[in-house]
Every structure is written in structure tokens, then in C-alpha cells.
């Protein structure tokens, strides 16, 4: 179809508007990631403090024995996105969750994000509960507290695995499955074997069971909080990458439209010039004919 100059101008204006939207979303994705990174660093310091308390507890009370969870029951906590425009972010996480379900295993799923719920249903995994991700860094406290509370109510002796996306080398992203409960045996053995370097021995005013429960709950809270912050950082990074690709595609299309507009404008100018020349030649021929007629009459 032959493009008119007016149609090309409208299409160029539309593409420029789209480019403005894409650029705004790219900027917002870059800005939104920063508070979550700061929250991740802050919760890392808090987690180190909790591990220090657990180290003191194990130093005073000896190694911690944990019950072996059953092999046929587990709980998956999957942290995905509540918004689109981030590629196959949720689909990759859903496949990772499916990979951790053994045949015949009873799995209960806690999901974060409406888009994540759709991806899990696509893998035939219906979430028992779907929670909204935080709208800002302050909401990480709400999400982590709600997840830990729900796990305390529903866990029993089931294994709990946390699945989310984390940053990888060279700016890449990769899904990770982090065992949440029971606590990592290697970590507990390392804490129990670590020497106590202070000259003052640890002392506690709480009963040992209550203190251990508080330490474990705070450790779970810090781990979930850190995972949620990491998930939101990678989500915004994925959206930023998609917007960069979209911006490049829009720029290429704009250049094509500008080139086509220049070609059509040049064609119209050439046509107008030809019309002027043809008209001028026709007028000159008529004038010559009129002059010859007048001369013949004389």
C-alpha cells in the first residue's frame, strides 16, 4: 500500500509517543531496583546478627538435632512477578518449581504474584495461597512476616523450599531453590564447631525452647525478606532489559519511518516540480501558437 505523507507523519508521531512510554518504563525499572538492593544489604546485616545469636545458643546448649522430614510431602514458596513486561520471568520459575516435585509427592504451594500464579497453573500446580508482592521496599516487611506466619501454621514436619530468581554472573539471572526448613545441617554444624572468641560466655534469660523458636523464626524472616528483595531486583532488571530491547526496536522503526517519509516527501516535491515544468511548457507552447496566429493574421 502506498503511504501518504500524512499517514507516515501520524505513524511517526505514534512511534515517538511509544518510545516516550518505553523510555519512562525503562527509567522506572532502573530506579525501582535501588531501594530493594539497599533493603537486601540491610537484612543481610540483620541475618548475621541472628546467626550470631544462634551461634551463642549452640555454644551453650550443644549441637541441634532436627527431625527428618517425610519424602512425600513438601511446601514450595515461589516468588514471582505481579506485573508483565519482564519476558519469561515467571515461566522459568514455574518450570523450576515443577522440577522440584517428585512423582507421587504431595506439594502445597505458596505463591507471590498474580502473574506467577498463572505460570504455575500452566505447569498444573495450583497455588494454595497467592500473595501480593510489595509495592515498595517497606512492603518487604509485610510480605516476609506474612509468609513466615503462614508457614508456621501449615508446615507441620514438611520440607519447605523457597524458589526465586537471583542475580548471576555477567549480569544474568537464574532461578534458585533454597531449602528453608529444616535448617541447613551444614550451617548448624559449622556454627556449633565455630570457637567462641569472646572472653564472656553467653547468658540467656529466656527458656531454651522459646529462645530457639525466636531465633529460628527471625532467621526464616531474614531469609525470606532477602529472597523477596532479590526477586524484586531481578524482576526490575528483567523489565529493564526488555524495555531496552523495545527501545532499540522502536528506534529502528522510527528510522525506517523517517527514511520513508523523506522518500515520500522527495517524491511529492519531484511530482510538484514536474507539474510546474509541464504547466510552464504547456503555457509557453500556447503562447507561441498564439503568436504565430497573430502573425499570420497580419
164: three-class secondary structure by DSSP: strand
Q: What is the pLDDT of residue 241?
A: 84
> Cα-Cα-Cα-Cα dihedral of 116, 119, 121, 122, to 10°?
180
Q: Which residue has the cell 532477602?
A: 226
76 or 272, which is more confident?
76
In a domain, 12, yes or no: no
Q: Is residue 4 part of a domain?
A: no
Residue 122 CB neighbours (<10 A): 13
Residue 49 is part of a domain; what is its CATH number?
3.40.1380.10
In angstroms, rounded to a whole number, what is the distance separating the alpha carbons of residues 2 and 235? 42
Note the pLDDT of residue 102.
85
Distance CA 230, CA 190 (A): 25
Whether the CB-CB separation of 159 and 74 falls below 8 Å is answered with yes
For the whole model, what pTM was predicted?
0.80
Domain count, the chain: 1
- Round to whole Å and give the CA distance between 246 and 86: 11
Domain assignment of residue 290, yes or no? no
Task: State mean pLDDT over 204-211.
Answer: 88
Residue 265, domain member (yes or no):
no
- Burial (CB < 10 A; 0-12, 13-18, 19+), residue 229, is buried
The residues that bridge with 165 in the sheet, in sequence order, are 175
How many C-beta atoms surround the C-beta of residue 152 within 10 A?
Answer: 12
Percent share of the chain, pLDDT over 70 = 97
Tens digits of per-residue pLDDT, 142-171?
A: 999 999 999 988 877 789 999 999 888 777
pLDDT band at 1, cuts 50/70/90? very low
| 257 part of a folded domain | no
In a domain, 129, yes or no: yes
pLDDT at residue 230 in the model: 92
Name the pairing type of β-strands 173-181 and 106-112: unpaired
Cβ-Cβ contacts under 8 Å for 10 (sequence gap 6 or more): none
pLDDT band at residue 34 under the 50/70/90 scheme: confident
Note whether residue 86 is domain-resident.
Answer: yes
List the domain range (segments joined by +) for residue 191: 23-241
Instruction: Report the DSSP pairing between strands 73-79 and 106-112.
Output: parallel
**Full strand arrangement of the beta sheet holding 173-181:** 129-131, 106-112, 73-79, 159-167, 173-181
Residue 143, pLDDT score: 93
Amino acid at each position: 500500500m502506498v503511504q501518504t505523507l500524512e499517514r507516515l507523519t501520524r505513524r511517526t508521531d505514534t512511534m515517538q509517543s511509544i518510545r516516550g512510554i518505553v523510555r519512562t518504563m525503562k527509567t522506572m525499572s532502573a530506579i525501582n531496583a535501588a531501594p530493594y538492593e539497599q533493603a537486601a544489604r540491610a537484612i543481610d546485616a540483620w541475618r548475621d546478627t541472628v546467626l550470631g545469636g544462634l551461634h551463642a545458643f549452640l555454644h551453650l546448649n550443644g549441637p541441634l538435632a532436627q527431625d527428618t522430614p517425610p519424602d512425600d510431602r513438601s511446601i514450595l514458596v515461589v516468588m514471582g512477578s505481579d506485573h508483565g513486561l519482564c519476558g519469561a520471568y515467571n515461566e522459568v520459575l514455574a518450570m523450576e518449581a515443577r522440577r522440584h516435585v517428585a512423582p507421587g509427592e504431595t506439594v502445597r504451594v505458596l505463591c507471590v504474584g498474580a502473574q506467577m500464579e498463572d505460570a504455575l497453573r500452566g505447569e498444573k500446580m495450583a497455588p494454595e495461597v497467592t500473595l501480593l508482592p510489595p509495592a515498595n521496599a517497606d512492603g518487604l516487611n509485610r510480605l516476609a512476616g506474612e509468609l513466615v506466619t503462614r508457614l508456621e501454621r501449615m508446615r507441620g514436619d514438611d520440607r519447605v523450599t523457597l524458589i526465586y530468581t537471583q542475580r548471576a554472573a555477567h549480569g544474568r539471572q537464574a532461578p534458585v531453590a533454597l531449602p528453608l526448613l529444616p535448617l541447613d545441617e551444614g550451617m548448624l554444624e559449622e556454627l556449633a564447631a565455630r570457637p567462641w572468641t569472646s572472653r564472656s560466655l553467653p547468658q540467656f534469660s529466656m527458656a531454651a525452647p522459646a529462645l530457639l523458636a525466636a531465633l529460628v523464626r527471625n532467621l526464616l524472616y531474614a531469609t525470606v525478606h532477602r529472597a523477596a528483595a532479590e526477586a524484586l531486583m531481578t524482576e526490575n532488571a528483567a523489565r529493564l532489559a526488555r524495555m531496552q530491547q523495545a527501545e532499540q526496536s522502536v528506534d529502528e522503526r522510527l528510522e525506517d519511518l523517517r527514511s520513508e517519509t523523506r522518500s515520500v516527501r522527495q517524491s511529492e516535491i519531484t511530482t510538484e516540480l514536474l507539474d510546474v515544468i509541464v504547466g510552464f511548457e504547456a503555457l509557453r507552447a500556447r503562447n507561441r501558437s498564439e503568436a504565430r496566429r497573430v502573425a499570420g493574421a497580419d
